[in-house]
Amino acid sequence: LPDGSVLLLDALSRAEGRYFATRREVHLIEGAGFFEVAHDADRPFTVQAGRVRVIVLGTRFGVELTPLAGGGERVAVQVESGRVRVESLDGLPAQDLGAGDSLRLEGAVAAVTSVTPAEAAAWRHGELVFTDATLGEALERLSRYTTTALVATPEAAALALNGRVRVAQASAWLAALPRAMPVRLQPNPAGDG
């Protein structure tokens, strides 16, 4: 970026940046981005993702915006190093996050967990990490890297999932699912999943 900051975008992701004399702003329109922000006390750096604003205090962090099937969105913020402040337009109190913190916001619900530095925006390293996720969320996320849509029945989509997937080995991970979960794989007769 013009100020020396670095923005990496994940597959099927879009962002728009604007720089002003007194502030720097990035709007994450969809997908996920990882930010390495150059410190400039006179021009704060903020990231807007849906109804969440991340105010940077000089750091390396990831932000992911995911639309939810029933409407609304989920925003995840993972801090690799430094500090950020996360504010929600849904009335939740602001949260200060430091290195190793992860915040997941869905509407008026927020949950803070810990991550290792390698898990912050793990897609940068060709991995997806799922913690307290569902199979439906994992398939939706993995779909960014496939040529066909990955879908599940509502019952299968609701199954709890924790784990990690190497994006390059997504086919093998999918093939192994029936051995780990009560599911079976079948091609979509319409040919799109």
| pLDDT score recorded for residue 57 | 78
Q: In a 3-state reduction of DSSP, which class is residue 125?
A: helix
Kindly give, in sequence order, each residue whose CB lies less than 8 Å from that of residue 183, ignoring residues fewer than 6 positions away. 135, 152, 156, 159, 177
Q: Tell me which residue has tokens 């997504």.
A: 170
Instruction: Give the C-alpha separation, 182 to 166, whole Å.
Output: 22
Q: Model pTM?
A: 0.84
pLDDT at 148 over 90: no
- Express each pLDDT in 166-192 by its tens digit: 999 998 999 999 999 999 988 766 655
Angle formed by the axes of helices 170-180 and 135-142, to 10°? Answer: 170
What average pLDDT does this structure show over 133-155?
A: 89
Neighbours of 140 (CB within 10 A): 20
DSSP state of 176: H
- Express each pLDDT in 37-93 by its tens digit: 998 989 999 999 999 999 997 789 999 998 877 788 889 999 999 999 999 988 889
Phi, psi angles (nearest 5°) of residue 183: -135, 165
| pLDDT score recorded for residue 190 | 62
